[in-house]
Chain A
C-alpha cells in the first residue's frame, strides 16, 4: 500500500569562499549608441550567470538587458575572475560589474553635465536616458551622450573595477571569525508516497521557498531551484558510486548508476522569499548551490513521516526502505510478544 508523508527541511548557506580571497574583476564599455559591452573572466555553465551579469550592468547604466552584450571566458582578453564556483557569481562578480558600470556611467555623467548645464551629482541614468534628478524632463538620450563623450569630448566611457568579499580568518582553536560576508536561507517541503510492500519512494511534490536577496532575474532563480531539486532527488534516493573490495568503481555508467530523469520529477512550486542584502549588487546574494541542499533532508523526513522509519544513510533506495519497514514490523511483533508475557 502506498503511504503518503511530508517532510520539512531548512538550511543556511554562505556565498563565496571560506575566508580566502575570491575576487572578481570586470570591464564595462559603453558604445557610441548607448549600448554596452561587458567583459568578464567567468564562464557560463548553463545557469544564466552571464544574463544576470548583463542585467546588473544594464541596471547601473539605466539601459535594458538586451542593450548589454556580455563577453566571457578568455584569459588573453578578459579580466581575471575566480570563476563559477561557491554560488558567488551574482554576488561577487555582480558587485564588480556594478562598480565597473558605475565608473563608465561617471564618464557619461561628466559629459552630460556640461551638455545639460548641471553638476554630475545631479544626474541619474534611467530608461536609456541621462536625466536631472527630480527634473526628468531635462534629459538626453544615453546614446547621444555616449557619442558626444567619445567623438566630441574624446572621453570614451569605459569603467573597470574589482570586488572581493571581506572576511576575517577563523581562529584555528575555536573556529571563531567571519568566514563569509553573507548567507542565504531556504526551506523545502517534500510530499512523498512510499510503497510499504516494495519500499519504493515517489516524490509527489516539493514546495521550495528560497532567499537569494534581490532576484535579479526571477525566471533564472526558478530554473536554478528546479535543477537543484532534481539533483537533490538523485542524492536522496538513487545515486551511489559503489566500490568493490579492491577499490575499483563497479558502476561507472549510466545503466547502473541511476540519475533522475524528467519522469522522476515531482511537481515543484517555487517561492522567492523577499529579502535585500545591502552588500550585494542591488541587494542580490546568490542561489546556485543552496537549491540542492535541503532536498534530500526534506525527502528523508517525508519517508519517516509516511512509514515511520528513519533512514540514516543515503541513498534511501527501495531495498533500504523496505528492509527498514520489515525490521520495524519485526520489532513491533517482538515487542508485542514480550509485552504479552
Chain B
C-alpha cells in the first residue's frame, strides 16, 4: 500500500536525520544539541516510595550526567573572563634569587602577573600553615608555583609563563623518608627538624609478651606515592566585585574550610568571601583544601575581571596532594595456635614538602596499624617526615590502605608458617562486640567476624579448590 510506503520512507528519513545529528554531536562533544524537556519527568519508583531509607533511589544528578548536561567549572564562562596559568619551579629545593616578569607583562594579551611577594598571608594548611600559595624566596618541591599569569586566552597565558625568568640557587634536597629521619640530613623547613609529628600507642608489656611467644615474625612493607587521578582536574573561577567581595566557584569538597583559608590568605573578613562548590568530578581526598583559589582571586582583584584556572594533568600530579608512601616494620609474637600475643609497629610516613593532612593520616595509620585484632600488648611508633617531594595529604583511607596491606600480608605470612588457613587465623584474632581497641576504646556494632564469614561463604573459601 502506498500509505505504508510513505510511512516507511518518513521513518527512513528520520533515522538518517538522527544519525546525522549523532555524528555532529560526536564531532562536537562539548556542544549539546537543543533538547525540549517534558513537563513531567519520569521519576523512578524507588524515589517515590516510603519508607525512604533502604530504597535504591537514583541520584538526582544522574540524569544530568547521563544527558551530558552537567556543568563542571570548565563548562562555565563569564563575560570578560581571563585565564590563569601558574609557573612551576621544576627544581626540588632552591632559594629564589630573582624573578623577572617584565617580558611576560609586556606580551599582548597578558593582563596581569602575580608573584608570592604580593600575597597578603602567603601560607595555608589544615594543621600547620607551612604551605605557601606561591613560593616566595624558597622552593620546597619541584611542583611549587613561583608566579602566575592572567591572559585573555589560555594559550597566551601558557606562552607568558615561558617569558618569566626565575633565577635559582640550588639547595640540597632530601627525597627518601628514611634518609630524612637522619640527624645530618638536609632540613626541608629549617630551623624545624624533618620529623614534624609523632604518634605513639602503648598497651600492655610488649617485650615480655614477645619473649613469651612461641614464634616471633618480622616483616618490612613499603608503599608508593599515588595520585587521586580525578577525571576533573582542580579548577576554579574567581570574581572580585567592586564592594571588595570575592566569589569563588571551585571544585572542592570542603567549602567551609576553603572559605576560612581564602579569607586568611587574602586577609579578608569571612563575610566578604563566598565559596560556591560546583559539581565535583572526582575528589577522593584530593579536593579537600584550596590550591590556586587565592591566586585567582588576587588576579581578579588586579584586573577587575573574572579569572579562571584549570590545572593540567601534569599539575594534578606534581602540584597537588598525593598518598603517603609508608615504610612499615612489623614484629608479631604468636602462640603456635596462631593467637597474637604482642605486636610492635614502626611507621615512617613520607610527608612530602608540606604537612597538609599528614597529621590526620599519621593518626589514623597508627591507630589502625594493628589491624582489627585483639592484641593485648601493643607498641606503635609512627613518624611523618618532610621530604622535597610533592606533598602528601588526604587520600581515600588516610593511611589505612597502606597499613592494611602490611598487617594483612604479615598475617598471611604467619598463617603460612604455622600452617593455618588464612581465614581461620583471622577468625581466631578478630574483634568482637565489646572488644577493646588499641587506644583503649570499647567498640560497638562490630561485625568484622560476620564480614569474614559472609565473604568466605560467598566466595566458596571452604570448598575444595579446583
Q: Which residues of A does B touch, CB under 8 Å?
A: 6-14, 17-19, 41-46, 48, 50-51, 54-56, 58-59, 62-66, 68, 70, 72-76, 80-86, 126-128, 170, 172-180, 182-183, 185-189, 191, 207-211, 213-220, 228, 231-232, 234-236, 239-241, 243, 245-249, 251-254, 257, 259, 269, 271, 273-279, 282, 285, 288-290, 292-298, 300-301, 304, 310, 312-315
Stretch at the interface among B9-17, B41-49, B96-104: B41-49
Looking at the assembled complex, report how far the CB atom of B214 sits from the nearest CB atom of chain A, in whole angstroms. Answer: 21
B52, A10: Cβ atoms closer than 8 Å: no
Known contacts A175-B201, A243-B389, A245-B175; 6 additional CB pairs below 8 A are A7-B422, A59-B53, A179-B441, A189-B455, A247-B92, A271-B458
**Which residues of chain A come closer than 8 Å to B256, judged between CB atoms?**
41, 75, 80-83
Interface residues of B in 425-466 (CB under 8 A from A): 426, 430-431, 437-441, 443-448, 450-452, 454-456, 458-459, 461
Q: B59 contacts the other chain (Cβ, under 8 Å)? A: yes
B367, A179: Cβ atoms closer than 8 Å: yes
Q: Which of B257, B316, B323, B441 neighbours the largest number of chain A CB atoms within 10 Å of its CB?
A: B441
Looking at the assembled complex, report how far the CB atom of A2 sits from the nearest CB atom of chain B, in whole angstroms. Answer: 13
**Which residues of chain A come closer than 8 Å to B380, judged between CB atoms?**
175
B48, A64: Cβ atoms closer than 8 Å: yes
Q: B400 contacts the other chain (Cβ, under 8 Å)? A: yes
A247, B281: Cβ atoms closer than 8 Å: no
Question: Measured between alpha carbons, how far is A278 from B445 in the docked complex, in Å?
Answer: 8
B92, A12: Cβ atoms closer than 8 Å: no
Q: B196 contacts the other chain (Cβ, under 8 Å)? A: no
Looking at the assembled complex, report how far the CB atom of A17 sits from the nearest CB atom of chain B, in whole angstroms. Answer: 7
Partner of B448, one of A10, A84, A217: A10
Bitwise, B211-227 to A at CB < 8 A (1) or not (0) is 00000000111111111
Closest chain B residue to A217, Cβ basis: B57
Closest chain A residue to B202, Cβ basis: A174
A8, B450: Cβ atoms closer than 8 Å: no
Q: B368 contacts the other chain (Cβ, under 8 Å)? A: yes
Closest chain B residue to A177, Cβ basis: B439
Question: Measured between alpha carbons, how far is A296 from B58 in the docked complex, in Å?
Answer: 30
A240, B447: Cβ atoms closer than 8 Å: no
B283, A84: Cβ atoms closer than 8 Å: yes
B401, A293: Cβ atoms closer than 8 Å: yes
A269, B397: Cβ atoms closer than 8 Å: no
**Which residues of chain B come closer than 8 Å to A253, judged between CB atoms?**
313-314, 317
Q: B344 contacts the other chain (Cβ, under 8 Å)? A: no
**Which residues of chain B come closer than 8 Å to A43, judged between CB atoms?**
252-255, 277, 280
A64, B459: Cβ atoms closer than 8 Å: no
**Which residues of chain A come closer than 8 Å to B222, judged between CB atoms?**
312-314
**Which residues of chain A come closer than 8 Å to B56, judged between CB atoms?**
217-219
A65, B55: Cβ atoms closer than 8 Å: yes
A59, B92: Cβ atoms closer than 8 Å: no
A185, B405: Cβ atoms closer than 8 Å: no
Question: Measured between alpha carbons, how far is A46 from B287 in the docked complex, in Å?
Answer: 13
Bitwise, B242-258 to A at CB < 8 A (1) or not (0) is 00000000001111110
**Which residues of chain A come closer than 8 Å to B282, judged between CB atoms?**
45-46
Q: B141 contacts the other chain (Cβ, under 8 Å)? A: yes
A46-B280, A247-B175, A277-B445 are contacts. A66–B400 as well, Cβ < 8 Å? no
A18-B360, A74-B276 are contacts. A297–B431 as well, Cβ < 8 Å? no
**Which residues of chain B come closer than 8 Å to A234, judged between CB atoms?**
226, 229
Question: Measured between alpha carbons, how far is A50 from B64 in the docked complex, in Å?
Answer: 15
Question: Measured between alpha carbons, how far is A58 from B257 in the docked complex, in Å?
Answer: 28
Partner of B224, one of A189, A219, A240, A295: A240
Q: Which of B323, B397, B398 neighbours the largest number of chain A CB atoms within 10 Å of its CB?
A: B397
**Which residues of chain A come closer than 8 Å to B203, judged between CB atoms?**
174, 176
Bitwise, B374-391 to A at CB < 8 A (1) or not (0) is 000000100000001110
Looking at the assembled complex, report how far the CB atom of B401 sits from the nearest CB atom of chain A, in whole angstroms. Answer: 5
- Give me 15 A-to-B residue pairs in the complex whose CB atoms sit less than 8 angstroms apart, sorted by A's number: A11-B400, A41-B256, A50-B59, A51-B57, A54-B60, A55-B57, A63-B50, A64-B50, A182-B444, A183-B443, A247-B142, A271-B454, A289-B398, A289-B400, A297-B408
Question: Measured between alpha carbons, how far is A246 from B416 in the docked complex, in Å?
Answer: 41
Closest chain B residue to A298, Cβ basis: B408
B405, A248: Cβ atoms closer than 8 Å: no
Looking at the assembled complex, report how far the CB atom of B278 sits from the nearest CB atom of chain A, in whole angstroms. Answer: 7
Closest chain A residue to B170, Cβ basis: A246
A189, B456: Cβ atoms closer than 8 Å: yes
A285, B445: Cβ atoms closer than 8 Å: yes
Partner of B459, one of A12, A85, A207: A207
Q: Which residues of B does A touch, CB under 8 Å?
A: 43, 46-61, 90-93, 141-143, 173, 175, 199-203, 219-227, 229, 252-257, 259, 273-285, 287-288, 313-314, 316-318, 322-323, 360, 363-364, 366-368, 371-372, 380, 388-390, 394, 396-398, 400-401, 404-405, 407-409, 412-413, 416, 422-423, 426, 430-431, 437-441, 443-448, 450-452, 454-456, 458-459, 461
Closest chain B residue to A48, Cβ basis: B59
Question: Measured between alpha carbons, how far is A228 from B396 in the docked complex, in Å?
Answer: 9
**Which residues of chain A come closer than 8 Å to B276, judged between CB atoms?**
73-75
**Which residues of chain A come closer than 8 Å to B412, judged between CB atoms?**
7, 301, 304
Partner of A10, one of B53, B61, B202, B408: B408
B50, A259: Cβ atoms closer than 8 Å: no
A252, B49: Cβ atoms closer than 8 Å: no
A252, B224: Cβ atoms closer than 8 Å: no
B142, A248: Cβ atoms closer than 8 Å: yes
**Which residues of chain B come closer than 8 Å to A81, judged between CB atoms?**
255-256
Partner of A257, one of B47, B60, B201, B317: B317
For the complex of A and B, list the 10 residue pairs with the smallest distance between their C-beta atoms, beginning with the closest.
A247-B92, A83-B254, A73-B277, A175-B201, A58-B52, A297-B408, A84-B253, A43-B277, A12-B372, A185-B448
Closest chain B residue to A86, Cβ basis: B398
**Which residues of chain B come closer than 8 Å to A211, judged between CB atoms?**
445, 447-448, 450-451
Question: Measured between alpha carbons, how far is A216 from B53 in the docked complex, in Å?
Answer: 5
A247, B439: Cβ atoms closer than 8 Å: no
B397, A312: Cβ atoms closer than 8 Å: no
**Which residues of chain A come closer than 8 Å to B253, judged between CB atoms?**
42-43, 45, 83-85
Closest chain A residue to B322, Cβ basis: A241
Question: Measured between alpha carbons, how far is A288 from B394 in the docked complex, in Å?
Answer: 13
Q: Which of A10, A209, A217, A252 neighbours the largest number of chain B CB atoms within 10 Å of its CB?
A: A10
Partner of B226, one of A172, A174, A207, A235: A235
A75, B409: Cβ atoms closer than 8 Å: no
Question: Measured between alpha carbons, how far is A72 from B277 in the docked complex, in Å?
Answer: 8
Closest chain B residue to A285, Cβ basis: B445
**Which residues of chain A come closer than 8 Å to B284, judged between CB atoms?**
45, 231
Closest chain A residue to B228, Cβ basis: A231
A12, B448: Cβ atoms closer than 8 Å: yes
**Which residues of chain B come closer than 8 Å to A269, judged between CB atoms?**
458
Looking at the assembled complex, report how far the CB atom of B345 sits from the nearest CB atom of chain A, in whole angstroms. Answer: 12
Question: Measured between alpha carbons, how far is A155 from B432 in the docked complex, in Å?
Answer: 48
B283, A315: Cβ atoms closer than 8 Å: no
B252, A313: Cβ atoms closer than 8 Å: no
A313, B223: Cβ atoms closer than 8 Å: yes
**Which residues of chain A come closer than 8 Å to B52, judged between CB atoms?**
54-56, 58-59, 63-65, 68
A175, B445: Cβ atoms closer than 8 Å: no
Closest chain A residue to B65, Cβ basis: A46
A18-B363, A277-B445 are contacts. A84–B254 as well, Cβ < 8 Å? yes
